[in-house]
Amino acid sequence: MTRTNASLRRGWCPGALRPMETGDGWLVRLHPRGGRLSVDDLRRIADLARRHGSGLIDITARGNLQLRGVRPETHGPLVAELLATGLADADEGDGPQRLVLASPLAGRELGEAVDAARLAEEIGAACAGLTGLPAKTLVVVDAGGLPLDDIAADLRLCADADGALVIALPDGRWMGSVTPAEVPAAVRALLVPLAEAHRREPDRVRRLRDLPGEALEPAVAALGLRPIGAPVGRPAAPRAGSVPEHGGTFAVMAAAPFGRLDTAQLDAVAAVAQGDAAHGIRTTPWRGVALTGLADPAATLAALAGIGLITDPVDPRLAVHACPGSPACLRGEAPAQADAAHLAMAAASRIAGGLTLHVSGCAKGCAHPGRAGATLVGQGGGYGLVLDGTASDPAHGRFVADSLARLLAAPGDLAFTSVPDTVSP
Ligand code: SF4
C-alpha cells in the first residue's frame, strides 16, 4: 500500500485502504454501514487500534471511526484484518463513503414518519454508480425523530406527517413533495449536475452550493418539484442523554469529548453494551455512540459517564466543534483539541445562552464547515477570532488561548471587546 499526498489535497477523504498522513502518523478511517456496530466490532477495533496504531480513536461528525497513529509497516496487516472481518470494504472508490446520514436512532424512535434507515440504503444504492460526486457530498434524511438541523448537508430531506418528503435545496428553497419510493431517483437526479460539474472543475465545485442557482432547474422541472413551505421547526436534538423508543425501551446517547476515545474506553463501551443487554450500538453524528433497546437508561448513562463520555445534554463541550489541530494534524497551527475543553468551560455561560464555538487548528475548518457564533482559527500558535462566520473568513487579531478563555468568560459583546484585547502569542 502506497501512501499518497492526497491528505494535502482539498476535498479528499481518507479510508481504510487510503490512509491520510497526519502529525501523529497515518489515519485510517472506517465507515460502519449505517453507523451500526456490534460488541465484537468495538472490541476488534480497539484491539486493532492498540496493535497497529497509537490506540487513539476518533468518532467523526458523520459517525465514522478513525484509527490514529497507524505506521507504514502496520498498515498492510491492519487492512488485511479489517477486510477479513468485514470492517472495511476492498472497493472504497473515489466518491462519498457515507453519502446519506439519518438519525442514529432510525427505526426505533418516536415521531418517525418514514423508515429513514431503509431510505438511506435505497438512496445510497441509487447513487452508487454516479461517478464524479465529491467525496464530502452529504444527503441528510430527517424522518421526524431526532432533528438533524445542525448537520450541514448538500440536500436535506424532511418527512411530513403523511410520510411524504420535502427537499431543501442549497438556495434555501423547500421543494415538494415526493413519496419515499420516488426519493432515490429524485436525489440522484439532483446530484447528477454536481457530479458532472465536479468532474469538470474538481477544485472549484465541491458542494452543491458551488453550482449556479439555475443548474438544478432542469432536474427540478423533470421531477415536477414545486416550492413548498418549510417544515415546522422542532427543538434541537439532545446530543446526549436518554430518548424513549417504540415499545417502552430507551436509547442513550453519549458523546466522546471532541470525538476522541482511547482503546480502554472503546472496550468499556462494549462491556456496558453487553452488560446492559443493549439491542444495538450505533455511532452518532455528534461524535458519540448510541446504545438502543435499554430498560434502565439511568444506569447505562452512569456507566458511560464513568468511562469519560459526555452524558449531560447541557455539557458545554457538546456545543464546541474542535478538530485535532497540532501536533496531530500536519496543517494545524494551534493545538485545537487540547485547548477546546478549557475554552468550552470558559465559554459555558455564553454557550448556555446559545453561542456555538468552533476551535479550528487552521482555516480549513474540518470540524465544522458551517458558520459558528465564534470561530477560533489557529494561526502561528495562537488563534484568530471570527464572529458569526466560518474558519475561512477574515479573523480579528490573534490571541493566545488563555486570552481567549478570559475573553469568552467575561460578560459583554464579543464584537466590541475582541480587538482591544488582542494579544500576540
Ligand atoms: S482544520 Fe484541523 S484537522 Fe482540518 S486541516 Fe486544519 S488543523 Fe487539520
Q: Give me the pLDDT at residue 35, please.
A: 94
**The pLDDT value given to residue 352:** 93
Neighbours of 86 (CB within 10 A): 11
Strand order of the β-sheet with 139-142 is 100-102, 139-142, 155-159, 165-168, 174-178, 226-227
Categorize the per-residue pLDDT at 421 as very low, low, confident or very high, splitting at 50, 70 and 90.
Answer: very low
pLDDT(187) > 90: yes
Per CATH, the homologous superfamily of domain 317-421 is Sulfite Reductase Hemoprotein, domain 1 (3.30.413.10)
Does residue 18 have a pLDDT over 50? yes
Q: Report the distance separating Cα 294 and Cα 2, nearest Å.
A: 44
Which superfamily does 241-311 belong to?
Answer: Sulfite Reductase Hemoprotein;Domain 2 (3.90.480.10)
Q: Find residue 375's DSSP bridge partners.
A: 358, 386
pLDDT in the model for residue 271: 98
Instruction: List the CATH code of the domain at 100-227.
Output: 3.30.413.10
pLDDT greater than 90 at residue 236: no
Matching CATH topology for 100-227 and 317-421? yes
pLDDT at 417 over 60: no
Mutational pocket test of ligand 1: of 323, 333, 376, 379, the residue with most ligand atoms within 8 Å of the beta carbon: 323
- What percent of the chain has pLDDT above 90? 81
**Cβ(407)–Cβ(418) below 8 Å:** yes
pLDDT for 3 equals 44
The predicted model gives 267-289 an average pLDDT of 97
* Residue ranges covered by each domain of the chain: 6-84, 100-227, 241-311, 317-421
Residue 68 β-bridge partners: none
Residue 4 pLDDT exceeds 50: no
Ligand 1 atom closest to Cα of residue 361: 7
Q: Would you state the pLDDT for residue 95?
A: 86
Q: What CATH code is assigned to 6-84? A: 3.30.70.3340
Among 20, 29, 329, say which to mutate for ligand 1: greatest number of ligand atoms within 8 Å of CB. 329
- Nine-digit cell string for 260: 476522541
- Give 361 Cα–ligand 1 centroid separation in angstroms: 5
Q: How confident is the model at residue 64 (pLDDT cuts 50, 70, 90)?
A: very high
Contact 22, 3 (CB under 8 A): no
- Ligand 1 site-directed mutation target among 5, 360, 377, most atoms within 8 Å of CB: 360
The mean per-residue pLDDT over the stretch 265-290 comes to 97
| Strand pairing report for 139-142 and 100-102 | parallel
pLDDT (mean) for 385-391: 95
CA of 326, closest atom in ligand 1 = 7
Compute the distance from residue 26 Cα to the ligand 1 centre, in Å.
15
Range with lowest mean pLDDT among 148-157, 190-199, 226-235, 318-327 = 226-235
Specify the pLDDT at position 393.
95
Tell me how far the alpha carbon of residue 236 lies from the centroid of ligand 1, in angstroms: 27
E strands present in 285-415: 288-294, 320-322, 357-360, 372-379, 382-389, 396-399
Residue ranges lining ligand 1, Cβ < 6 Å: 323-325, 329, 331-332, 336, 360-362, 364-366
- CA-to-CA dists, residue 254 to 33, 262, 307, 347, angstroms: 20, 15, 11, 21
